[in-house]
Amino acid sequence: MTKDTGRFYGSFLFILHSHIPYVLYHDEIGENWLSEAVAECYIPLLNMLKKLVRQGISPKVSISLSPILIEQLNSPYFIEKFRDYCRLKTELAEKDKEYFRNLEFHMHYLARLWKKFYYKTLSIFEKEYHCNLINEFKSLQDEGHIEILTTAATHGYLPLLREDTSIQAQIKMAIQIYEQCFGKKPEGFWLPECGYRPNCFWTPPIGNGRPGNLDSYVRKGLEEFLYENGIRYFVVDNEQLNRSHPHDIHKSSMDTYYIGNHPVTILVREHQLSEQIWDFRVGYPGNGTYLDFHKRHWSSRLRYWKITQRTLDMAYKHLYYPGDVKNVMSEQSDHYKWLIKKRLKAHHYYAGRPAVAVCAFDTELFGHWWFEGSTFFYRLIRLISEDPEIRMLTCKECIKENPAYNRVYMPESSWGAKYNSETWFNGKTQWIWKNIYRAEQEIRHLATHFRPDNKLQQILRQIIRESMLLQSSDWQFMITNNHTKDYAEGRVVEHFENFNRLTRLAWNYIHNQFIDDGDWHHLNHCQKTNHVFKEPEIMWYK
């Protein structure tokens, strides 16, 4: 169980949440988000994990892969788009290299590095990973080196969905995709945005509630939906635990807890350790030596500048020097390993037993926002593997060795601003939820009229896809934060219009009424552009 029974202080859980909303066939901007994440995050992550394994170190990292991300990474269309993306970036780097040849020697050197980066990335993708990243993650899990978690199908914000059937569908679809890709059922789950809602007497934030003029009604806690579907643990933020009751027990992020009235365990993000990475103002990624995310060359959009200072105007950023990064990263990884051990040791002395330190982040932070991030964690995992007093564990291993003893009851909460649902429901996004709620009720009504019919099943499955894509929490987040707001609003409008037109087609088909050829063409168009999740089931909504 331990490396050294005399001096073992606890375990470090490193959890990465990987998700990009559905962007294929829509806009080049969105498709580039996915290609950037693959080139700068997912492939470097796989490279790092496989390098550790080759060196005899089992990384024991937990990685959640959203079903909608899996669907995109497995798409033949994406594979060609990613090839085109890497080739274009290689060409742009070559043009920069020639442009800087007689103007700026160091930028010429950096352009050569970018050319090599994208050329090598595409080569690894094609020759080593055979264009199948999901299978590479599966192999690592099958060999016991990582654990793969799942999340809601399209990353819908579950606490605010009005119909229990919608929550069930998001979870059941996720499990179906997981089984198809990884050959077994998942046990761990990432609640989108760490959004949680307990068993409660619930009132929809808009509208007059459910049919029958019931303004409020009893809802199951999200842990009950998870338990019914075989999920046994999920991740929450430290502040969510702090707001839980009972208040007369000592609560620490370095312990595990049962949540609600079911045997489902929560793993709690440790605040200090997470802030050291997550908070750009005080954390490691904000170091001035690292590559700046925002400043890019006007033509190629490649990055040649370092952060320099956190608050410095873009015009005054200094050029990036990769050679300066090594010493900074060495100091920071040493410090972070020391900090992890310090936190584990302190809790061990207080509680008299080994502790658990959980750090959970968006995967896209490492390599994308923080270009050097995957290398940082490669070094960190190596350092932990060399220390007999602490170790890495996956979520499942942690639950087995650190079973929960206390039970807590959390309020509705998230890891968003103010730790509530305001980021996803506010004055800017209320109209989205009106559309989501209308779609939820309509799809339940359609489910009651289902009959075995291949053509009807095609229509209903596409209706489910459009409904799920409409529910993605990403659209609300983008609009609230004015981040590609127009893109997000356009996607919401598109999926709701598709849903409405397909719904009219379904009712006309059910009632044997005239159907225009244009409606069938529209169905075919939706099936091409939004064809995710091969077999969604209308019976999930009955």
For the stretch 79-136, pLDDT in tens is 999 999 999 999 999 999 999 998 999 999 999 999 999 999 999 999 999 999 999 9
What's the confidence (pLDDT) of residue 78? 98
List, by residue range, all CATH 3.20.110.10 domains of the chain.
16-74+132-418
Residue type, 102: N
Place of tokens 């094609």: 126
DSSP state of 183: S
User: Is residue 470 a contact partner of residue 495, using CB atoms and an 8 Å limit?
Assistant: yes
What's the confidence (pLDDT) of residue 7? 87
List, by residue range, all CATH 1.20.1430.10 domains of the chain.
426-541
Query: Which residues are CB-contacts of 291 (< 8 A; sequence separation ≥ 6)?
Result: 303, 305, 306, 307, 320, 371, 372
Beta bridge pairs of residue 360: 15
User: Which residues in the chain land under pLDDT 70?
Assistant: 1-6, 208-214
| Superfamily of 16-74+132-418 according to CATH | Glycoside hydrolase 38, N terminal domain (3.20.110.10)
Burial of 74 (0-12, 13-18, 19+ CB in 10 A): middle
Specify the DSSP element, H or E, that contains 136.
helix 133-142
pTM value is 0.95
What's the confidence (pLDDT) of residue 1? 39
Residue type, 224: E
In 38-131, at which residue ranges do the beta strands (DSSP E only) sit? 61-65
User: Is residue 246 a contact partner of residue 408, using CB atoms and an 8 Å limit?
Assistant: yes
Place of tokens 């037109």: 501
Highest CATH level, class, for 426-541 = mainly alpha
What's the confidence (pLDDT) of residue 278? 86
Specify the DSSP element, H or E, that contains 446.
helix 430-447
What's the confidence (pLDDT) of residue 214? 52
In our burial notation (b when 16+ CB lie closer than 10 A, e otherwise), range 481-495 reads: eeebeebbbebbebb
Query: Which residues are CB-contacts of 518 (< 8 A; sequence separation ≥ 6)?
Result: none
